[in-house]
Amino acid sequence: MGMLCAVSFNRYGRLYYLDPGDLRPQVGDRVLVPTDDGTEVAECVWAAQWVSEETDGFPRLAGLATEADLHRDEAQRKRKAEAKVAAKRLIREHGLPMKVVAVDHVLEGGGSGGRTTIYFTAPHRVDFRSLVRDLGATLHCRVELRQLSARDSARVQGGIGSCGRDLCCATFLTDFEPVTIRMAKDQDLPLNPLRISGACGRLMCCLKYEHPLYQNFHASAPAVGSRVSTPEGDGRVVGHSVPRDSVVVRLDADGSRCSCSRASVCGPRKAHDEHYAN
């Protein structure tokens, strides 16, 4: 058991959880977060509070941001904006099929120079060697260009999914697991790309969330078209309702339909209940 707080580097951006240590930051406080390139300024969006989970593996806050840290953060944001504008202009001049997604800048001592990393998307591999030279001469720093996949681009930019919530990849997903069209078929979803694709244009990651539930259901539920005995009489299965864990049966007696739980029509389950009932 320990204390955790949540911070964000951008408004409405991804949340990062840290151990506050001896600090007690409140919502809105600017704090210093340790990164591979040194400490960076972030905003506390969830005040430090006790949690039931172990907090040994979480990074610890480096401290509260001072005026010097805030000025450094402002200079860094300004450099990012300048680099983004310059990159877009030079990409147009070079006629390259590239789209700038994000810019990261690491300042050197004194707030000048440093290293700028520009993330971009492109339909194919791009020869950007001449672009890097022009960017370095324009920005007066070392420049790196990194091409992102469609999913990584959506993670970096963020957005709202069809469910009305923030994109999973921009909030809590740490890696991308394979998603196949078979998962959509197993869940009886329409195979319309506009309905099952996410903001990145690829199959939605959430198709994988409920897929094990559908697999377990279909492994034990009677198939559509098979005959079953229900508490209301014999009939034929005409549909499944996986979220309700039930099947739809058309009764032989009057042709009406009824919804029965999977357990009430599942042969092995009924045999188990009858065996132990006696």
Its sign, for the CA torsion 149, 155, 158, 163, is positive
pLDDT band (50, 70, 90) for residue 244: confident
Q: Are 162 and 168 in contact (CB under 8 A)?
A: no
| pLDDT at res. 108 | 66
Q: Are strands 115-121 and 142-147 parallel, antiparallel or unpaired?
A: parallel
Residue 269 scores a pLDDT above 50: no
pLDDT digits (tens, 9 = 90+) for 80-129: 999 999 999 999 999 999 999 999 888 765 445 688 999 999 988 888 89
| pLDDT at res. 86 | 94
The rounded percent of the chain whose pLDDT value lies above 70 is: 93
| pLDDT at res. 75 | 87
| pLDDT at res. 235 | 87
